[in-house]
Structure 1
Amino acid sequence: MKHSVLCFRLMIHFVGLMLPLYAIAQDATLVIDTQHPGAKVSSRLHGIFFEEISHGGEGGLYAELIQNRGFEESTIPPGCTLDSGWLVPPRTSHFASNKVSDWKMPWEPKSPWPAWSLRTAANARASLSLSTKVPLHAATPHALQVDIHSAGKADSVSVVNEGFWGIRVDKGESYNLTTYIRAPKFKGAVTASLRASDGRILASYTFNNVKQSSWRKYTCTVKATASDAKAKFYLTMSSPGTIWFDLVSLFPARTFKNRPNGMRPDLANYLADLKPAFVRWPGGCFVEGISTESAPEWKRSLGPIEERPGTYSPWGYWSSDGIGYHEFLQFCEDIGADAMYVFNCGVSCEMRSGVFLPDDKIPALVQNILDGIEYAIGPADSKWGAVRARNGHPQPFPLRYVEVGNEQVGTRYATRFNIFYKAIKEKYPQLEVITSTGIAHVHKPTIDAVTKTDIVDEHAYKAVYWPMIYHDWYDKYPRKDWKLYVGEYACNSGVGSGNMLAALNDAVFIMGMERNGDLVAMSSYAPLLENINDTDWPVNLIRFDNASSFARTSYYTIKMMNDHKASENVAVSLTFHSSTSTPVARYSGNIGLSTWDTYAEFKNIQILDKNNKVLYAADLINHKNDWKTEGGKWTIGDSVIAQTADGAWPMAILQNKIPDVYTLRLKARKTGGPNAFMIPIAVKDNDNYLRAHIGAWWNRVSAFEMVTNGADAMVTQPVTLETPVETNRWYTVELRVSYTSIECYLDGKLLMTYKEPRTFFSIAGTDERTGEIIVKVVNAGKEPVRSAVEVKTAKAIAGVGKTLTLSADAPQAENSLEHPLQYIPVERNFTGFKNSFEYVFKPWSVTILRIRQE
């Protein structure tokens, strides 16, 4: 069954989704007013961003089955040196600070020929070495030299490739092998085979009489007689002598669109099924490199694969550049997406070494980028357009966007951007040029120094609940003469490796972008692909191994949002009603004491009930065992609890039972360090609690923060301190905890208030193609929400429409390799639509209502 068919499980019910309403209290009223339109929704809002990270391409999207096919992966990246197992970039000034960075990274290869090994049978003897004496091509100078000292029919010698954590072989499928062999005095044969993990031969082919003094290309197609998910590839010889191999490449005959040097079908289909408006490539940090010499270069990624030297990823492995510039452009065309090419602006990764090319090298960089654009869209008789035509594509590719650098920021970058922008727009005014603004939100000093830009790229990696607390984030952005591109976004902290709670946060974030279509033109989730054997980033959209794959619930959320995107927003109002008369203990759990890179002392700790009766007073002489400490360096004296070590979040937790409503009163003083102190409450364990952080951000602000699964997120707007917390001064801190809120007082003055974040959100719009009203709702709570829905429209409601719901039974739920389609959208027909109707939204759900109008 095709992947696209599996994307949605269609369950058609003409009765509709109506739970027994009499059993559920009405929780909300949702009013949709189509007579008050809002911003147009960007038609190009959803794209994809591919970067070579977590072996997303090499050993992933790129269908090559042989790892280190050219024997180049023990090569030190250009511009770098190796020192005691560490890869060291040039020790020159950092672009942003002008100081020399001491950053370095571990050197991963542990062998001169990574992924290859020697196996000898019986009495055979042989050795391996890397040779550069007679290179196949100057760009790829290394070859594997096999010296076979003794061998025979029963005494064979094999060089074995493990693939990318195994090679998937499927019975009946064909595989195309290409290799180059040089063997001036070798008189035997070479047998290529795929073998199962138990040694069974799954497919084989023998090249006879390979004796050649110069390099010769050998090809064959083999068909598998059995299957194995962890097979290996063998090159076997049974004669003594010396033989050289280079470019050993094995591809499944079936690739996406059946293109040679193509893509892995299941992963490519996931991307195609998203119907992306554009593809951003090649990075990300990958485009920056760890030195300016090691950054990707589009010209090196063209032509025969044996002539591509590869690019070292800042994520710690070599990319063969099999997905080169041409393949990227071709893939965009194949899936109907515009291309966005991100080029290096002469600066290596600012979060790493930050080394850079001097300004006098910029004109050459500008010309190189203009050449690259000409390759993509220039006439077939232009210099680089002719190269494209010779590579099999005389017509222009769909290049529409060019981004100058990745996550660069500051006025120095802006000066460079202005040079690139002017040169590109003068020659290619139809292209849209994108400004980078660092690793977070739009950086105002950068934008102020940019003379002119078309699109600004901001990145938004957020912890759990941030999108819900700041659901109106883009509502407040100033509108300028440029559009916003959220080039990398994800809820990726506090959600494990990704779960339904992440998808719900992503959905709310997307709704905020959609609602602000006059500002937010484009977005792309990141990272896109992750081989589970090499996780370089905690949360990724599509996970896979060599044999299988699955898309996370966030993937299906994005697909739902894109497939059912309105043309124009309409006004929406939400009113919430009390669902119960019984108070809910929202902040139950223990209380604690904590610091962050700060030394602090605490005393006079009291817990009072709602009638101000003292329930607990810290008698540290007799009740030291009431406190459990973890991390840091804690001492409990006669009257003071002190923390005297650097580090994040050491905790002392009171083990006594705490009531639902209470006041916590204590004295605290900072004795050293940059910040002040934190008071955790509602402590479930060391990784899940709420805290009042007083004197955060180098003692400048205070805020409530939520820690979920060990990840922290600010859950209130930061309050600027009138004066920083003074060292060695005792402050009275009071937290008043009720059923609905927490108030924090400092020396008797209200400092900040926390209220439970909303978990129910909605937007709506109209589809100009169908005339339908599209309503999108997120219920991130643990209870179903019954809502009255009122539709104000000049047209009559048809009554029959569709609903789509992505839901789970728990926030931690997620798809897996074993159950790849466990949580996917369910589509139903619905007959209950009227100008006024009721609908029950499931817990932990994303729902789309398509309401037809007459």
Structure 2
Amino acid sequence: MKKLLIAALVYCSAANAQTVININTQQQGARISPTLHGIFFEEISHAGEGGLYAELIQNRGFEESNLPQGTTLEDGFIVPKRTPHFSSHQISDWKMEWPVKSEWPSWSATDGIQLALTDKQPLNYHSLEVNIKAKNASLMNEGFWGINTIAGNKYVLQFYARNYKGPVTASLQSSNGDVLASYTFTDINKKGWSKYSAILSAVKSDPAAHFVLTFGNTGVAYLDFVSLFPQQTFKQHGLRLDLANYIADLKPAFIRWPGGCYVEGINIESAPDWKRTLGPVEKRAGTYSPWGYWSADGFGYHEYLQFCEDIHAAALYVFNVGISCDYRSGTFTNDIDSVIQSALDAIEYAIGPATSKWGKVRAANGHVKPFPLQYVEVGNEQHGPEYALRYNRFYDAIKKRYPQIEIIASMGIGDVNRNTMDSMHHIDLADEHAYKGAYWSFNHDNHFDKYKRGNWKMYVGEYATNAGVGTGNMAATLSDAVYMMAMERNSDLVKMSSYAPLLVNVHDIDWPVNLINFDAAKSFARISYYAIKMFNENRPDVNLATTVTTAPSTAPAFSGGIGLSTWDTQSEYKDIEVRQGDQLLYKSDFIQRAEDWQLLRGKWSVQDSSLSQTAEGAQLMAVLKGKSFDTYTLTLKARKKDGFNAFIVPFAVKDSNTCLRAHIGSYVNQNCVFERVTGGYDVSDLTDQRRLKHPIEKDRWYDIRLEVKADQVDCYLDNELLMSYREPVKVFAIAGREERTGDIIVKVVNANATSCNTTIKLDSTATIDKTATLITLASDSEVSENSFEKPAAYIPVRHQIPVNSGSFNLQLAPYSVNVLRLKSKHD
């Protein structure tokens, strides 16, 4: 990419802190991909089961106590067959805790009923035998942490029963027994399986109700596939309205599905098979998610393709390549031909003519026309030369039959890498995954600029700022926005991206930060959701040359206290001094003045002349009381006694839970790194992990020195420079032109805690209207978050502002993501 098109970030020595953004509308950069923003759906954290898929009954088919295929239960753990791991070639000892404690999870009964799981004449593998010994005894289902029942709404019930004679009342009830909706079946008297359906009309509301079947007679009943849906779903295709609308409102260019680790399975036998997700829902056996629960496969391959069509998004189908999750059992099959055939069949089902084998099946399922499948991905997070050779076989087979399909290559869990690519014959798109800490994107704004261009393009299939940001606060949004701007600026390379994870049921959190949070009744989108929406709705067609010049702040960046800390390590510290030039600001004396230090977490005690920490645990910490420093030199001696890591020296301490720190001996005593801590335990890297020349030795005193300058910190070990950290620039901008309207679209992030006086300068040929639209997403704190209580606390706000051709001033709010639309003046 040409240097002039990179949004350069330069320090200048202005009398007043100010940012100048120069935009040259005559110098165009890369065209911006219309498919830049899509979504990635995976069955994780009950995203689909009890989430997007609107089924309200958990374990509706009574199959959730089944062990995943190819596993056994040993001492509370599911254990796959002990076969070699695809990558390591060794027998893996991986196992997974089995969470199921009942034969019929989510179901319970009152006195007068005995339950048993039976495999006699089931619809699938099992049905529920209900031995009713007392009239009006009841069977209950808890739903997915409750069933949201709303007065005036209707709910569609269906279930299968046999061998019972007598009335059955289906109802939704509150925990106190209040009946919210009910319907009585009076004609249940068939020996064989019969389907029963009804509409439950709610007269009262409860966000956490439960479902009840009450039997008016005694006897033995067999039940299967008990299902309850809201009558109103997204386009009446069985998806929860609020969650589907969140997704649709993003206007994603594509949907990647079904994973993620879900694609791979915990072992090869239990990996998802798209063919098992077709046909009548009561006949679908379900798939065990690597995230620890069963999916009933109601949101199957057909339903996924239908959702893509419904929201005008292309389908990106990820298929298993005969390898299970590399980070789990890693089991695999060498019968590659059958796996390739399955992938070809899946493509045919989606886009083949209605006269083809699988096109006929699609047509029989109610969809004669092809679905919008445009992409397939060969596995998930597989990597290395052996995977590449397998990938080549898939690529050749698919391109031979479907040359129009774009094929995506997995690159493991990190950056695009030569170790994998060099053995691949052809690559349409390479899938990079990027889970980063707060402000990583600030320090790596040139990440995509540095990639050598070739005959391949990039899909950032999973990205998120998910460390050091709580559950997804404004700091995450600012970092995500800068990352997205880097992708847009490098759209000659980056053609597609999708945030991950998309959805989380707050009762089953598998990943620390997720885009959309929900429970049975409510939902809210994180601030980053709105940043993605803003950027996608204001996506130009071509980049314009943009430079950003930011004056340095005169305030020291690292003001605050100092501390001592450990992480699963027992260490001692002594001879602590803080100096500013020749002036001694503090000198420790633990024997005479141990009370200078506040011992926050851990087991601290004075040993000889040192302060010793001897407990196990994370983020154990002591801080110097009542002292704050700005620019200074901190020296101390440190000795490791035992444990996994080594030394941690906090600085810029704001309170007991917030600081920066130098970590020497991180990553099990291999590396060193500067870190940021928020919330006491939420840690993210400020710098890249750097390998130590030698691990820290036990029972040896080391000299540590931190030189804290106005905007940079240098860390020394035994007088040798280990690492440095410079406070990054916190104003970023890019610009582009929308060809349909001629609008100049400027995206600006101000990550400072104060407002930013900004001058925007356009080249002399650009003439614009005197009124522009400014869309701002801002908060008063970097730790601000949306919540169930305040779901729209931080959303974009639109303003009309006066502007001028040539140049004009703009005051950017603190902690803000901004989109400025300048309307071109036409003759």
Shorter-chain TM range is over 0.9
Q: How does 1:354-365 map to 2 (within 5 A)?
A: 354-357=330-333, 359=334, 361-365=335-339
Q: Whole-Å Cα distance in 2 between the matches of residues 314 and 676 of structure 1?
A: 34
- CA deviations on 1:141-188 (whole Å, 9 max, x unpaired) are 21111112232xxxx1221112112212222322222111111xx331
Range with bigger deviation, 784-793 or 89-98: 89-98
Q: How does 1:351-500 map to 2 (within 5 A)?
A: 351-357=327-333, 359=334, 361-500=335-474
Residues 1:150 and 2:134 aligned together: yes
Range with bigger deviation, 408-417 or 646-655: 646-655
Change over 3 Å in CA distance of 1:656–1:91 after alignment to 2: farther
Q: By how many angstroms is 1:692 displaced?
A: 2.4
Q: How does 1:623-772 map to 2 (within 5 A)?
A: 623-629=593-599, 636-641=606-611, 648-655=618-625, 657-668=627-638, 677-685=647-655, 687-697=657-667, 702-709=672-679, 710-717=681-688, 730-772=701-743
Task: State the one-letter code of the partner of 1:414.
Answer: A
The answer for the alignment partner of 1:229 in structure 2 is 207
Q: How does 1:149-548 map to 2 (within 5 A)?
A: 149-151=133-135, 156-183=136-163, 186-259=164-237, 262-357=238-333, 359=334, 361-548=335-522
- CA deviations on 1:629-653 (whole Å, 9 max, x unpaired) are 5667766433445566776554444
For the aligned residue pairs, the C-alpha RMSD in angstroms reads: 2.4
> What is the SS of the residue equivalent to 2:297?
coil
Change over 3 Å in CA distance of 1:607–1:391 after alignment to 2: same
Q: Whole-Å Cα distance in 2 between the matches of residues 276 and 308 of structure 1?
A: 29
Change over 3 Å in CA distance of 1:531–1:150 after alignment to 2: same
Residues 1:109 and 2:100 aligned together: yes
| CA contact 1:96–1:354 (8 Å) conserved in 2 | yes
| CA contact 1:34–1:793 (8 Å) conserved in 2 | no
Residues 1:126 and 2:113 aligned together: yes
Q: Whole-Å Cα distance in 2 between the matches of residues 820 and 698 of structure 1?
A: 40
Q: How many residues align?
A: 810
Task: State the one-letter code of the partner of 2:189.
Answer: K
> What is the SS of the residue equivalent to 1:61?
coil
Q: By how many angstroms is 1:831 displaced?
A: 2.8
> What is the SS of the residue equivalent to 2:534?
helix
| CA contact 2:165–2:190 (8 Å) conserved in 1 | no
Q: By how many angstroms is 1:195 displaced?
A: 2.6
Q: Whole-Å Cα distance in 2 between the matches of residues 698 and 209 of structure 1?
A: 67
Task: State the one-letter code of the partner of 1:387.
Answer: V
Change over 3 Å in CA distance of 1:718–1:161 after alignment to 2: closer
Task: State the one-letter code of the partner of 2:793.
Answer: Q
> What is the SS of the residue equivalent to 2:248?
helix
Residues 1:35 and 2:13 aligned together: no
Q: By how many angstroms is 1:73 displaced?
A: 0.9
Q: By how many angstroms is 1:415 displaced?
A: 2.0
The answer for the alignment partner of 2:12 in structure 1 is none
Change over 3 Å in CA distance of 1:720–1:362 after alignment to 2: same
Change over 3 Å in CA distance of 1:631–1:385 after alignment to 2: same
Change over 3 Å in CA distance of 1:103–1:168 after alignment to 2: same
> What is the SS of the residue equivalent to 1:509?
helix
Q: Whole-Å Cα distance in 2 between the matches of residues 254 and 382 of structure 1?
A: 34
| CA contact 1:458–1:484 (8 Å) conserved in 2 | yes
Q: By how many angstroms is 1:305 displaced?
A: 0.4
Q: Whole-Å Cα distance in 1 between the matches of residues 758 and 127 of structure 2?
A: 68
| CA contact 1:504–1:780 (8 Å) conserved in 2 | yes
Task: State the one-letter code of the partner of 1:754.
Answer: Y
Q: Whole-Å Cα distance in 1 between the matches of residues 28 and 62 of structure 2?
A: 60
Q: How does 1:758-837 map to 2 (within 5 A)?
A: 758-792=729-763, 794-837=765-808
Q: By how many angstroms is 1:785 displaced?
A: 0.6
Q: Whole-Å Cα distance in 1 between the matches of residues 441 and 552 of structure 2?
A: 24
Change over 3 Å in CA distance of 1:193–1:450 after alignment to 2: same
| CA contact 1:464–1:713 (8 Å) conserved in 2 | yes
- CA deviations on 1:555-599 (whole Å, 9 max, x unpaired) are 1100000000111111111122356xxx53432333233455666
Residues 1:615 and 2:602 aligned together: no
Change over 3 Å in CA distance of 1:252–1:728 after alignment to 2: closer
| CA contact 1:26–1:787 (8 Å) conserved in 2 | no
Change over 3 Å in CA distance of 1:517–1:101 after alignment to 2: same
| CA contact 1:127–1:148 (8 Å) conserved in 2 | yes
1:848 to 815, 819, 824: 819
Q: Whole-Å Cα distance in 1 between the matches of residues 778 and 38 of structure 2?
A: 24
Q: Whole-Å Cα distance in 2 between the matches of residues 99 and 599 of structure 1?
A: 34
The answer for the alignment partner of 1:14 in structure 2 is none
Q: By how many angstroms is 1:766 displaced?
A: 0.7
Q: Whole-Å Cα distance in 2 between the matches of residues 271 and 413 of structure 1?
A: 33
* Percentage of matched positions with identical amino acids: 54
| CA contact 1:292–1:347 (8 Å) conserved in 2 | yes
The answer for the alignment partner of 2:4 in structure 1 is none
Change over 3 Å in CA distance of 1:680–1:305 after alignment to 2: same
Change over 3 Å in CA distance of 1:819–1:451 after alignment to 2: same
- CA deviations on 1:604-624 (whole Å, 9 max, x unpaired) are 33222x232233333343234
Structure 1: which 5+ runs fail to align? 1-23
> What is the SS of the residue equivalent to 1:849?
strand
Q: By how many angstroms is 1:83 displaced?
A: 2.1
Task: State the one-letter code of the partner of 1:678.
Answer: I
Residues 1:71 and 2:52 aligned together: no
> What is the SS of the residue equivalent to 2:798?
strand
Structure 2: which 5+ runs fail to align? 1-14
> What is the SS of the residue equivalent to 1:394?
coil
Change over 3 Å in CA distance of 1:648–1:201 after alignment to 2: closer
Task: State the one-letter code of the partner of 1:206.
Answer: T
Task: State the one-letter code of the partner of 1:688.
Answer: T
- CA deviations on 1:399-418 (whole Å, 9 max, x unpaired) are 11111111112222222212
| CA contact 1:599–1:642 (8 Å) conserved in 2 | yes
Change over 3 Å in CA distance of 1:721–1:158 after alignment to 2: closer
The answer for the alignment partner of 1:586 in structure 2 is 557
Q: What TM-score, normalized to structure 2? A: 0.93
| CA contact 2:766–2:806 (8 Å) conserved in 1 | no
Q: Whole-Å Cα distance in 1 between the matches of residues 763 and 675 of structure 2?
A: 39
Q: Whole-Å Cα distance in 2 between the matches of residues 82 and 276 of structure 1?
A: 41
- CA deviations on 1:732-755 (whole Å, 9 max, x unpaired) are 332222333323334445444322
Task: State the one-letter code of the partner of 1:316.
Answer: G
The answer for the alignment partner of 2:8 in structure 1 is none
Change over 3 Å in CA distance of 1:599–1:161 after alignment to 2: closer
Change over 3 Å in CA distance of 1:749–1:81 after alignment to 2: closer
Q: Whole-Å Cα distance in 1 between the matches of residues 452 and 641 of structure 2?
A: 42
1:60 to 42, 47, 51: 51
Q: Whole-Å Cα distance in 1 between the matches of residues 204 and 644 of structure 2?
A: 64
Q: Whole-Å Cα distance in 2 between the matches of residues 699 and 131 of structure 1?
A: 54
Q: Whole-Å Cα distance in 2 between the matches of residues 364 and 234 of structure 1?
A: 45
Q: What TM-score, normalized to structure 1? A: 0.90
Q: Whole-Å Cα distance in 2 between the matches of residues 550 and 718 of structure 1?
A: 35
Change over 3 Å in CA distance of 1:495–1:678 after alignment to 2: same
Change over 3 Å in CA distance of 1:377–1:744 after alignment to 2: same
